[in-house]
Each structure stands twice: as structure tokens, then as C-alpha cells.
């Protein structure tokens, strides 16, 4: 199901956005998005389809990419590298949270 830009939508893994919608929602140009796909920083749901669709989850990531591009004047290659680092940081943070959850809780006495 594609997002209607006139409605509020919860953008998650089950929501699909078209290539044009992704450009509008992210602030990046279609050319920049194509380059991010070429560099592997952005993956369409099915790259073999002529009309690419994307998971709604990537909108927040691409909004971050837009802010990085604007703040640091990054080209798409540098932007894809920064996005890769951010993805790795998020994965490591999730792993750290999971490991901390396995530790026994310390009881503090007042």
C-alpha cells in the first residue's frame, strides 16, 4: 500500500513509499536517491521492478541524510558512507541494550 501524501501515515516496515514519494518525504532529489541505491546505502523492496518502492522505515534515515548533506555539504558517495556508519552505530547500540538487559539488576539500598 502506497502512502498518500495528503494523509498522516505511520511509516514502518509494512508501509511502502514510491520513489517519487520518497524524494518528496526525504528532501533529497531523485538523482541523489538513485546514487544512494547504486552505492548500496538505500535498497528498494524489489530492485528488479521498473517502479521502485521502499520501506517506510527508510524515510527517517533519509531525512537524517538530508540534514547531513545540508550541514556538511556531502556528495552522495560521502553521504552513503555516513549512512553506513550510522546504521552500524544503531546496530551496536541495539546489541548493547540487549546485552545490558541480560545483566542482573543491582539493588540499591537507601
- Tens of pLDDT, residue by residue over 9-60, are 455 556 889 999 999 999 999 999 999 999 999 999 999 999 999 998 888 8
Separation between Cα atoms, residue 24 and residue 4, nearest integer Å:
12
Q: How confident is the model at residue 103 (pLDDT cuts 50, 70, 90)?
A: confident
Residue 108 lies in a domain: no
- Domain ranges, residue 29: 16-102
Residue 64 lies in a domain: yes
Number of domains in the chain: 1
User: E strand or H helix at 55, and its extent?
Assistant: strand 53-55
Residue 10 lies in a domain: no
Separation between Cα atoms, residue 27 and residue 22, nearest integer Å:
8
Higher per-residue confidence, 15 vs 91: 91
Can you give the pLDDT at residue 7? 44
Residue 94 lies in a domain: yes
Rounded to 5, what percent of the chain is helix, strand, coil? 55, 5, 40
Average pLDDT of 64-75? 94
Residue 75 lies in a domain: yes
Can you give the pLDDT at residue 2? 47
Q: What is the CATH number of the domain that holds 62?
A: 1.10.1660.10
Q: Indicate the pTM of the whole model.
A: 0.75
Residue 4 lies in a domain: no
Residue 110 lies in a domain: no
Can you give the pLDDT at residue 4? 46
Mapped onto helix, strand or coil, the DSSP state of residue 80 is: helix
Amino acid at each position: 500500500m502506497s502512502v498518500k501524501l495528503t494523509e498522516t501515515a505511520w511509516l514502518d516496515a509494512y508501509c511502502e513509499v514510491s520513489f517519487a514519494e520518497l524524494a518528496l518525504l526525504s528532501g533529497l532529489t531523485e538523482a541523489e536517491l538513485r546514487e544512494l541505491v547504486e552505492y548500496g546505502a538505500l535498497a528498494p523492496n524489489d530492485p528488479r521492478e521498473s517502479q521502485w518502492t521502499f520501506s517506510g522505515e527508510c524515510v527517517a534515515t533519509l531525512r537524517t541524510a538530508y540534514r547531513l548533506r545540508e550541514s556538511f555539504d556531502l556528495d552522495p558517495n560521502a553521504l552513503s558512507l555516513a549512512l553506513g556508519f550510522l546504521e552500524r552505530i544503531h546496530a551496536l547500540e541495539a546489541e548493547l541494550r540487549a546485552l545490558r538487559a541480560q545483566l542482573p539488576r543491582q539493588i540499591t539500598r537507601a
